[in-house]
Amino acid sequence: MSPQELRAGASLAGIFGLRMLGLFLILPVFAVHAPQLSGGDDLMLVGVALGAYGLAQAFLQLPFGMASDRWGRKPVIVVGLIVLAAGSLLAATATDIWTAIAGRTLQGAGAISSVVVAFAADLTREQHRAKVMAMIGAMIGFSFALSLVAAPVLYRWVGMGGLFLLTGALALGAIAVVALLVPPAPPQPAAVPPGASGALRMALLDRELLRLNLGIFVLHVVQMAMFVVVPPLLVVAGLPLSGHWMVYLPVVLASFALMVPPVLHADRRNAARPVLIGAISLLVAVEAGFAVAGARLAMMAVLLLAFFAAFNVLEALIPSLVSRVAPAHARGTAIGVFNTAQTLGLFVGGLAGGWLAGRYGAAAVFGACAVLALAWLAVALGMRPVNRIAAESFTMGTLKGR
């Protein structure tokens, strides 16, 4: 990779990291904090508050991506980060669950994930694009893991309002990264190229992309649903919220060590398919284990370690696969659809997790997650071995034949 490509990858991954760290900081503590809000004793509304961000993102990923094609990547990213900061400020003032939901929705309205990923594709050559996508995916996983360690400590120091304000401050910090560190954008075409409707049809209907879009949707449903119930279960197991870092810190550090070998193996040996299937299989086993483990602290720590190992591998691998499978002329559209599926999963996971927990308890949440992950595994087993050039040639040939 050239110095500019390294700079582009590092700075755009940093924008993702700052943005997602602030959003993920809410996740480990909100369900425990929610009863202090008016109406916050309704677990379904707690789930809606957690997932509202994802719903707004799901509706706005494609419009933001289209706007960036017309007005440029950097201006649209800055606007999205300002909207995120405004939503964080609103949520920081919340004394009732509905204001928190409104704040989370406004946070999600800054839907710039697909724009940042498309910008990364603009700034890198084809042969290095998968590496940059993996950098961004790994940064998302790292931000999630770091938030689980830091959130309980920060919550004790600054409260939920302070966490939301910190989220806004991190968004403003990401604007500085855009202005000072991200390389200038290459020239953009003046108009939408011919065949854009065909590119959208391909992004929505291509069989291999459908597998990957389903996968990222399920992964984030499981992630969000789990963290409606995991923090309260740790409290029931005898670990107060201020001490949750004692589980999360060693688990997170160990999970990153476990993540590196399979990701390197997938990259160096063109073994993405077996690594993907192995990580999904581990996810199925983890959710089934949680369903029967109950509130036993040692067992929960082991299962969390396995979950983070699987999650980090999948979070790094799936975006890289999308960038390799999608042809160059439709990559931005494919990434927009992919990110829509991802953020829709956040909303569905929060809503379904809250509803299931409120009606049937935590075991039902984990059981449903296990079934979803098993369905994903069945779909992933039909995945073709991924070779970037062959995959692109196949997809482009399919488009020409339509």
Cα–Cα separations (whole angstroms), residue 394 to 209, 324, 379:
13, 12, 20
What tokens does 207 get?
């069989």
Q: What is the C-alpha separation between 362 and 358, in angstroms, rounded? A: 8
Confidence of residue 369 (pLDDT cuts 50, 70, 90): very high
Question: Up-side HSE of residue 262: CA atoms within 13 Å toward CB?
Answer: 25
C-alpha angle 54-60-64 in degrees, rounded to nearest 5: 130
- Over residues 209-235, mean pLDDT: 90
Q: What is the pLDDT of residue 401?
A: 38
Q: What is the pLDDT of residue 402?
A: 37
- Over residues 45-65, mean pLDDT: 82
pLDDT > 90? residue 305: yes
pLDDT > 90 in the chain, percent: 27
38 forms beta bridges with: 96
Q: What is the pLDDT of residue 21?
A: 81
pLDDT tens digit string along 307-354?
989 988 888 788 778 877 776 666 667 777 888 888 888 788 888 888
Q: Are 276 and 319 in contact (CB under 8 A)?
A: no
Q: What is the C-alpha separation between 348 and 298, in angstroms, rounded? A: 29
The reported pTM is 0.74
pLDDT > 60? residue 220: yes
Most confident of 60-64, 301-305, 348-352, 381-385: 301-305
pLDDT > 80? residue 230: yes
pLDDT > 70? residue 126: no
Q: What is the pLDDT of residue 64?
A: 84
3-class DSSP string for the chain? CCHHHHHHHHHHHHHHHHHHHHHHCCHHHHHHHHHHCECCCCHHHHHHHHHHHHHHHHHHHHHHHHHHHHHCHHHHHHHHHHHHHHHHHHHHCCCEHHHHHHHHHHHHCCCCHHHHHHHHHHCCCHHHHHHHHHHHHHHHHHHHHHHHHHHHHHHHHHHHHHHHHHHHHHHHHHHHHHHHCCCCCCCCCCCCCCCHHHHHHHHHHCHHHHHHHHHHHHHHHHHHHHHHHHHHHHHHCCCCHHHCHHHHHHHHHHHHHHHHHHHHHHHHCCCHHHHHHHHHHHHHHHHHHHHHHCCCHHHHHHHHHHHHHHHHHHHHHHHHHHHHHCCHHHHHHHHHHHHHHHHHHHHHHHHHHHHHHHHHCHHHHHHHHHHHHHHHHHHHCCCCCCCHHHHHHHHHHHHHHC
Q: What is the pLDDT of residue 261?
A: 87
Q: What is the pLDDT of residue 398?
A: 41
Q: What is the pLDDT of residue 194?
A: 43
What sign has the CA pseudo-torsion 152, 155, 161, 162? negative
- Over residues 38-54, mean pLDDT: 84
Quick count: other Cβ atoms within 10 Å of Cβ 314? 24
Quick count: other Cβ atoms within 10 Å of Cβ 184? 8
| Of 256, 29, 9, the residue nearest 136 (C-alpha) | 9
- Over residues 131-139, mean pLDDT: 74
Question: Up-side HSE of residue 19: CA atoms within 13 Å toward CB?
Answer: 30
- Over residues 137-148, mean pLDDT: 77
Q: What is the CATH number of domain 3-183+195-401?
A: 1.20.1250.20
Q: What is the C-alpha separation between 319 and 301, in angstroms, rounded? A: 28
- Hey, where are the domains in the chain? 3-183+195-401
User: For the chain, what is the mean pLDDT?
Assistant: 82
Question: Exposed, middle or buried by CB within 10 Å (0-12, 13-18, 19+), for 382?
Answer: exposed
Confidence of residue 222 (pLDDT cuts 50, 70, 90): very high
